[in-house]
Structure 1
C-alpha cells in the first residue's frame, strides 16, 4: 500500500493524465523523471519525457495505475478517464498491443497545443488537444496554438502547465488567437464524441464485427436489408464499403482492427452522433442479409423490357458472374444481371440507375417499328445510322418473340442441340461454324432464342464461379506486386485492385489476400533493413561524439532526425535496437566514470 503524497490535486475538467502528473510533480517538488519511474509499470524500461505522450493513450502499458491511485487517493477508473484508455477497452478489448496501437494509430499529435483563452481561464493541459483533427477550440472558436507567439519555439508540457514559454518566458495567454467559426460545429461534434466514449466505456464492449455492422446499418438508412447501392451512395469513398463488409462478415484473412478514425469520420459524414451509434441495435434480418447468397437488392430489381412476361416483376433478374467493371472514360458498372425470361442484360451504372446492356429495349422502340413498316435491314441501318449487324441482331431477337410479318418457327431439334452445346461449354464461334446454318441471319435467330440465352446466362454464371484459373490470377497479382516493389509504392489491397481494375471481393475470391499480405510484410522488412542501415551509423556517430557523456533518448532521436513514436510505429524492431545501443553506451560511460581516478 503506497503512502499518499502531501499535495494531491484533483483532476480538472477535461484534463489529460500527463497534465495531472505534471501538477503532482510541481506541487510536491518532485523530479519529473524520478516520479515517472517510481510509478512506472513493473518490468517497464526506464521512462523518459518522450514517453509521456503515450501515457495519454495507453497509460496501463506504461504506468502502475494502482500505485498512482493510492498516492493520489483517486480511483483508477477516474484516472484512466483522463486518457484514451477506456476507449481502447470499449473497442479493442482482448486485442494484442499491436492491434490496439493500430486502432488509434495516427490520430494523435506529439506536439503540445493549447487554446489561449482556455489557458487563461485555467492553466492546465486538456486531453482533447492531442487529437490531430481537433484544430480549433469549440468553446472560443479560435485556432489552437502550437508555438510561442514571441519566439515561435515549440511548446512543451511544462509551458502549458505554467502558462509561460520554456524558452523565452513569454506568457502564452498574451495572444487573442485567430478566429474561425466555420469548423465550430465539427469541433463540437468531435468533443462530444470523445466525451461520450469516455463516459460510456468501459461499461460496454464492441468488437470489430459489431461496429462494422452498425455502421453499414446506419449508412443504409436503417433499412431492413443490406443494399450495397444505398451504402455506396452514403459513404464518401468507394473503398469504405468493402472494408466494412470484410469486418462485418469477419472474413479478413488476417485479423486487424477497424480504425477509430474511420468510425468517427463516417459517423460525422452521416450526421449521426456517437450516442446514437452506441445505442443502435442492428436487426437480425439486416445482419443475415450481409452474408446471405441471395442479394436483397437484386431480388427487388425487375426487368424493364415492355414485351417481357416478367416486366416490372421484382426478383425476375439473376446476378451473372461479373461483379464490377471500370471503363477507360472513368465510368463503371456493377451488379451485372440478366432476365431469365427475355434474356435482356442489365447493370447498375455510376449513379445507381439500372441500365440495359443488350440494346434490345432501344431496338424495340426504334428499330422494330421501322421493320414492321416493311423497311429492309439496310434501309433501317441507313435511316438510324446504326451498324447493319446491330439491326440484324435486334431483328433476330424479336423474330421469335413478336408477331411481325409472321413469327419465325425454329427447328425444335436444332434448338435443343444449340442449348445442349452451350451447356457443355462449346463456344459460340464454334457453333456458328455448324453446316446447318443457311445464313448468318438464320444462326442469329437461334442464338437469340430465349432458351439459348437462358442457357448462356446459366453457363456463364456457373463458369464464372468455377472457371477461375487461380494460378494465372496469382501470377497477375504477383506481377503487380513486383512492380509496386520496384517502384517503391506502398503495397495495399486497394492499390492492387486499382491496378488490376477489380474489387477487393474479387481479390479475396482469387485467394490472393495472403499473397498481398506476405508481399506487404516483405516490403516493410526491406524498408526496415534499409532504414536500419541509415539510422544505426547516425546513432554510432552520436555515441562517438559523446564518448564520455551519457546520451538522452531525446538527443538520440533528434540527432537521427526522426521521432521515436513515429519510428516505433513504422519499425518497432529498429526502435528496440536503438534502445539497446543507448543503454549499452550509457552503461559504458557510467562504468568508466566509476573506474576513473
Structure 2
C-alpha cells in the first residue's frame, strides 16, 4: 500500500528527479530509500543506496512511474524532463532503456554544484550531473566538486538533505564562488548547456545508431550531396572514423551506439546546434554515394580476371554482392563481388587487391597445360590441388563452355536447350537450386553439374538474390503461418530456429529462406533471447538478495558470491552492467557494516 503525499511545490525547471524526491522525503521526515520502497517497480527487490544514481538515469527501470505520479502528483512528461529519459529515448534502439550506452561515463556519481543556486533555490540541477558541464551559466561561476568546509567529495547516494554536506553537515552554499572563466570556455559552456537543455526536454522522433552516424557524416561532409572521405577527415572526427562509416552503412556485425560526447564535439566544431541536427533531412544522393564507396565503388573500379570470360579486363561489369568479412588461405577478405558472365566470385584482400574466392581460374591455369581426363581420381586431386567434388564442378563448368578441345566429362549427352530453358525458367520463378538437383531428368550428378554451371544459369543465380529482395517470392499466407508458429514457440518457450520452425510448420528451411521468411524467424529468436535474458537477470536479483540475507554480519567476497548465484561476472557486466555495479556497491556497504559490527 502507498499513500499520496501532500506536496507543497512542483518540480522546478532543470531540477533532477532525485533532488525533488530527496526534498519530498526530507520534508516528510523519511529517508529517500523508504520513499523509493513505496514506489519501486520490482516488489521483490530491496532498494539500496546504490540505486539512487539510477533514479535520474532511467527511472522507469526501477520505479513504478504510475505510482510515482500518484504519490507526488507529477506528470509523466515532468519525470522525463527531469531525468535522462528523453535523451535515451532519442538514441536508444534497445527495448530496455537502462542498457543504453550512449551516455557511458557521462553521468557523474559525485556532486558538482553552484553555491549561489543552492542558496537561492535549494535544489540540484540535472545539468550538474553531466560530465563536461563545469560552470553555472546563470551566475557565471565554476561548479564546485567538494565541500569547502571539510574538502570531501560528495556522492549522490549519500545526500539526504539538499545544501548540506553529508560528512560535516555544513551548508554547501556558505562559500564564495570562482568567477575566473576565460571567454572561450564561457562560450563553449554556454553552447554545451543550451544543447543539453534542448536534449533533456526533447520528445520528438527517435534516431537509430545508423541514422545518427549518417547525420554526423553529413555534417562532417559540410552538408554536401556527394560524400568526400578527404573532406570528412579534414574536419576531424574525434572517434574512430571507420567504425562511424560502418555504423552508417549498417555493416557492423554488432550494433554500437554513437556516443553522445562524439556527437556534441562534432556539432560544436561545425557550429551546429543539436536542434538543427535533429531536424536534418539527408539527400538520397549523399546516402547513395556513401554506400557506393563501401561496395559499388570497388565493383566499378575492378574487372573480371578470368582469361576465358567475355568481360575479361572490362571495368564496371562486376556485381557487388556484399561487404562481408572472412579469412581464406590465411588472408582477410572483404567487399565481395561476382562476374555475372563467368560466375567467378571475387573479394579484396587487406591491401585492396582483387583475389578469387572460387577456384575456376586456378583450375584453368592447370587444365590448359594438362589433360587430366585419363587420370585416376587420386591423380586428379594431386594435380589440381582440389577435392573430388570441386574437380567435378570445374570439369562441368568448362565442358559447358567448350573451353578445351578435349571432353572434360565422358558419357554425358550434349546440353538440351529445352531442358536448359526449363531450368532457367524454374530458377527465375523462385525454385530452389537444391530442389532442381534431384529432378528425375538427370542421368547422374555430373549431368546436373553440366547444366548448373552453364553461363546462363550462373548469371541468373548471381542476380537472383536482388530479384528476391524486391518481394518477388514473398507469400503473405506463408509468412502468416511462420509468424504464428514463432509466436506459439515464444509463448511455450520452445527454442526458435529454422529447423524447429520448419518442422512445426510442415515445410523446409530452404522454403522459409526462399519465401523471404527467414527474417521473421530471426526476429523472434532475438526476442526470445531477450525474454530469457530478462528472466535470468530477475532470478539473479533474487539470488543476490537471498545470499546477502543469509550472510548478515559476514564478510562477502565477489568470487564466492558469483559462484553461489551461478553466473559469470563478465556475462552480467555485458548484459546488465547496472546490476553488476549495484551488487558491488551492496557488497562494499555490507562488508563495511559487518566490520563496524565486529
Place the TM-score, normalised by the shorter chain, in its bin: 0.5 to 0.7
Provide closer, same or farther for how the CA distance between residues 275 and 152 of structure 1 changes in structure 2, counting only shifts above 3 A: same
Residue 283 of structure 1: aligned partner: 283
Alignment of 1:203-222 (within 5 A): 203-222=204-223
Residues 264 and 576 of structure 1: is their aligned pair in 2 closer, same or farther, counting only changes over 3 Å?
closer
Distance 1:242 1:12 in 2: 43
- Partner SS for 1:200: coil
Distance 2:324 2:19 in 1: 61
> Residues 550 and 80 (structure 1 numbering): CA distance in 2 closer, same or farther, change over 3 Å?
farther
Shift of 1:188: 1.5
Deviation of 1:233 after TM superposition, in Å, equals 0.9
Aligned to 1:408: none
Structure 1 residue runs without a partner (length 5+): 300-317, 322-419, 426-453, 476-500, 511-538, 558-564, 591-597
SS in 1 for 2:329: helix
Contact map agreement 2:19 2:123 (CA 8 A) in 1: yes
Match of 1:37?
37
| Aligned residue in 2 for 1:123 | 122
The answer (yes or no) to whether the contact 1:320–1:461 under 8 Å persists in 2 is: no
CA distance in 2, matches of 1:135, 1:175: 17
Q: Does 1:470 align with 2:323?
A: no
- Note the alpha carbon deviations across 1:175-227, whole angstroms, 9 max, x for none: 223322342222222211121112222x3111112111111111111111211
Structure 1 Cα separation of the partners of residues 234 and 63 of structure 2: 45
Q: How far is the alpha carbon of 1:582 from its aligned partner?
A: 6.7
Cα shift at 1:70: 0.9
Closer/same/farther in 2, CA of residues 189 and 471 from structure 1, 3 Å limit: farther
Q: Deviation string for 1:541-589 (max 9, x for gaps)?
A: xx9xx97638899xx99xxxxxxx9997579589659949979x98xx9
Partners of 2:171 and 2:578 in 1: CA distance: 39
Provide, for residues 312-346 of structure 1, a one-character-per-residue CA deviation record: whole Å limited to 9, x for no partner. Answer: xxxxxx8579xxxxxxxxxxxxxxxxxxxxxxxxx
Deviations 1:141-186 (A, max 9, x none): 3221121112111224466843222222332122223322342222
Matches within 5 A, 1:411-430: 424=307
Work out whether 1:111 is the aligned partner of 2:113: no
Maintained 8 Å contact 1:90/1:205? yes
SS in 1 for 2:171: coil
Task: Detail structure 1 runs of 4+ shifted over 3 Å in the superposition.
Answer: 93-99, 156-162, 293-296, 318-321, 422-425, 454-462, 465-469, 546-553, 565-583
How far residue 30 of structure 1 moved from its aligned partner, in angstroms, is 2.0
Q: Which residue of structure 1 aligns with residue 553 of structure 2?
A: 549
In the other structure, the counterpart of 1:189 is 191
Q: How far apart, CA to CA, are the structure 1 residues paired with 2:326 and 2:155?
A: 59
In the alignment, which residue of structure 2 is the partner of 1:268?
268
Distance verdict in 2 for CA 1:132–1:576, change over 3 Å? closer
3-state secondary structure, aligned to 1:211 = helix
How many angstroms apart in 1 are the aligned matches of 2:37 and 2:324?
61
Deviations 1:295-323 (A, max 9, x none): 99x99xxxxxxxxxxxxxxxxxx8579xx
CA distance 1:248–1:460, shift in 2 (3 Å): closer
Matched, 1:243 2:243: yes
| 1:248-271 deviation line (CA, Å, top 9, x unaligned) | 111111122222222122112222
DSSP-derived class of the 1:162 partner: coil
Tell whether 2:21 aligns with 1:17: no
- Residue aligned with 1:42, SS: coil
Say if 1:290 and 1:456 are closer, same or farther in 2 by CA, change over 3 A.
closer
The CA RMSD measured in Å over matched residues stands at: 4.9
Rounded to whole Å, the distance in 1 between the matches of 2:42 and 2:80 is 18
Unaligned ranges ≥5, structure 2: 334-348, 358-543, 562-568
State the distance in 2 between where 1:252 and 1:73 align.
44
Where do residues 114-513 of structure 1 align in structure 2 (5 Å cutoff)?
114-157=113-156, 161-178=161-178, 179-181=180-182, 182-201=184-203, 203-237=204-238, 240-292=240-292, 319=301, 424=307, 470-473=328-331
In 2: Cα distance, 1:29 partner to 1:466 partner: 62
Partner of 2:46: 46
- 2:41 counterpart SS class: coil
* Deviation per residue, 1:108-157 (Å, 9 max, x gap): 11001101222222211100111111122223332211211121112244
| TM-score, normalised relative to structure 2 | 0.52
Structure 1, residues 353-392: CA drift from partner, whole Å, max 9, x if none? xxxxxxxxxxxxxxxxxxxxxxxxxxxxxxxxxxxxxxxx
Counterpart Cα distance in 2 of 1:52 and 1:566: 24
Q: Is the 8 A contact 1:112 1:130 kept in 2?
A: yes
The aligned length equals 369
Supply the distance in 1 between the matched residues of 2:571 and 2:52 (Cα, whole angstroms): 16
Structure 1 residues 191 and 467, CA, compared in 2 at 3 Å: closer, same or farther? closer
Q: Which deviations, in whole Å up to 9, do the C-alpha atoms of 1:449-500 show, x marking residues without a partner?
A: xxxxx969999999xx99996231359xxxxxxxxxxxxxxxxxxxxxxxxx
Match of 2:427 in 1: none
Distance 1:581 1:273, change over 3 A: closer
Quickly say closer, same or farther: Cα 1:502–1:22, change in 2 above 3 A. farther
Aligned equivalents of 1:135 and 1:75: distance in 2? 30
**Secondary structure in 1 matching 2:57:** coil
Tell me the distance in 2 between the aligned counterparts of 1:288 and 1:424: 33
